[in-house]
Structure 1
């Protein structure tokens, strides 16, 4: 199974983080070996965090409609008068809380617990909607990955993480490894449903372009197509891959890291400044990845100047 932004059971469904949760969850009381009895922990995430039940359509229907015209608003930081040495802005409240220590490889802990923990805690994450073409040029692929990030600008470098092995590589990783080319497309609000549809587990050779209804646009340097609807796309060349071995099942290859160099940038003309150096957030309206089947949108921002020593 390839690593995509959704697990198999949650494909084709999504929630927007800014919408009001349908209901909260409470975990049962449990014992901590360090802290003793822990209090009930109330979660504000939706009840469909990692599982879509038969009542999902009812839950979705109870939520407010998506507001397309929500502007990006800049507000003051939480403590505008913060000065050097002040620490957290909560008056010390966070220091009164305790933490639970978790060994990712403790006996009896399934690896899925690590997966859920990481994708719900390491948020928001950028999504790389990656388009590739097979080595023989006969098939195309489009899939989203939230184990992704830009890591350098000279040269422009990106990393993408794939669950699985090179030997049993599926779709995107197979094409990327064989052709050493791809396009990384950024997801915006206006095509989030179509991007989500590309997470479907189609067999190799079946194109997600058709499933999503997204439009292929020609690239300049690589053979793979850009997503025409994407406000920003990056043509990429594979630099190298590194395979990782499972800690719980020694000898089993469970992950592949791909380092990709950006060789061409494409930005929609109404989203780029005259110097071609800044993408307008108000036009980009990027969609980020949260835990479970949740997505986030960026409508609030703050500005804090970097300190100088």
Structure 2
């Protein structure tokens, strides 16, 4: 499942089951929180244990005080909604694919999806997951399956509110571009426009799709996977280096999806070189561990 698109609540009734918003009065809760810190910028910190030694395991032993629970996703009394809540709150942070598509009748659609990621670079391959099967798909999924074209736009902090509004449960045929106030820009190799406000947009074409069936009811389609190829990039000039190969995360300010209705910021990080086994295997520490 992903962020809701126009037909999700009507067709699947998921919103009433998921109870995504845990607050009776969200505006009251938000107004009581600290204001957004615009002056909080990207910075590098040390890794948690800069003196970590090969073979020494976790950098903190507090995990030993807790046992792991074993959960069968299909055990008695456990519902798909339970699995959904567990997965979206545990597999985090997730990148968001802000997808622009056009129906075969020319109707524009814009919606965010957090069942999305990059899976290959040559060629550039991305996957998007949608709740609902091919026979009862979301607007975006239907458009991609029928026209085989889309754009994927990375969401940054400066337009997260507008992107979130595109997840509204508007009926089919509603143009989310108008509701969000975002700016469509004509693409070069596909018909769907890309988002001007996005610092990194990808024109893409469908290369494969797969329909998922429920394990408890094999006759019921529960989701559709689409595999798409990136065929053209649009990157804001100030966020990419002069060699046009590395995007500055401090300027991109990407937004990620967490559990429930929570989004995440990316404001700090740490670096650690990948170990070279040819070199590491000659050290006494590694030799001893491998005896």
Same fold, TM exceeding 0.5? yes
Mapped contact 2:118–2:125 kept (Cα < 8 A): yes
Mapped contact 2:202–2:232 kept (Cα < 8 A): yes
Give the CA deviation at 1:173.
0.5
> What SS class does the counterpart of residue 211 from structure 1 fall into?
helix
**Paired residues for 1:193-204 under 5 Å:** 193-204=161-172
Match of 1:264 in 2: 232
Deviation per residue, 1:215-249 (Å, 9 max, x gap): 10111100000000000000000011001110122
Change (3 A) 1:281 1:184: same
**Does structure 1 residue 72 correspond to structure 2 residue 70?**
no
Match of 1:107 in 2: 76
**Paired residues for 1:79-158 under 5 Å:** 79-90=49-60, 92-137=61-106, 139-158=107-126
Change (3 A) 1:216 1:10: farther
Match of 1:59 in 2: 29
Deviation per residue, 1:3-27 (Å, 9 max, x gap): 326885999xxxxxxxxxxxxxxxx
Question: Which of structure 1's runs of 4+ aligned residues deviate more than 4 A?
Answer: 5-11
In structure 2, runs of 5+ residues without a counterpart are: 278-291
Match of 2:155 in 1: 187
Give the CA deviation at 1:108.
1.5
**Does structure 1 residue 219 correspond to structure 2 residue 183?**
no
Mapped contact 2:130–2:138 kept (Cα < 8 A): no
Q: Distance in 2 between matches of 1:302 and 1:146?
A: 24
Q: Distance in 1 between matches of 2:181 and 2:128?
A: 24
The two structures have a TM-score, normalised by structure 1, of 0.84
Give the CA deviation at 1:210.
0.8
Mapped contact 1:76–1:302 kept (Cα < 8 A): yes
Deviation per residue, 1:249-288 (Å, 9 max, x gap): 2211101110000000111000011111011101100000
Q: Distance in 2 between matches of 1:118 and 1:177?
A: 26
Paired positions, count: 269
In structure 1, runs of 5+ residues without a counterpart are: 12-48
Mapped contact 1:185–1:226 kept (Cα < 8 A): yes
Give the CA deviation at 1:107.
1.2
Higher percent of residues as helix: 2
Give the CA deviation at 1:52.
4.3
Q: Distance in 1 between matches of 2:139 and 2:36?
A: 32
The two structures have a TM-score, normalised by structure 2, of 0.89
Give the CA deviation at 1:50.
3.2
Mapped contact 1:165–1:253 kept (Cα < 8 A): yes
